[in-house]
Structure 1
């Protein structure tokens, strides 16, 4: 990931073998926008040489998800299931 200013981030695979994972992320993140949690908004999607995907997303400030920091895991699970 490469930050673009304060608001966005560029995602480009570092290894050719990782292109399939980023391609899936580019496909799925827009579908997850209704989740009751912050999901990066895809602002631009394209390919560099020979089908090497990249995406530009809104930056979400925060830490990695940590189950130990969830006060009510049952409520979180229910809100995700309701999606």
Structure 2
């Protein structure tokens, strides 16, 4: 199975604080949460240090995650992320 792509938002007090694009190889990650698992992982090396420091300040339990869309094509995900 090929990679799937998604765009997600992280919200704090109902305000968007981060928008990102993720990808997952569904055939390898389906048992670990499939599509959505990485949007909920706040320790990603791809996120900038300023945002990671913000997460440490407010606590990851106070961040809400919303999957905005899922795509088969990376370019569509990049377009929406922008």
Q: TM-score, normalised by structure 2?
A: 0.26
Q: Which has the larger radius of gyration?
A: 1
Report the structure, 1 or 2, having the larger strand content: 2
Report the structure, 1 or 2, having the larger helix content: 2
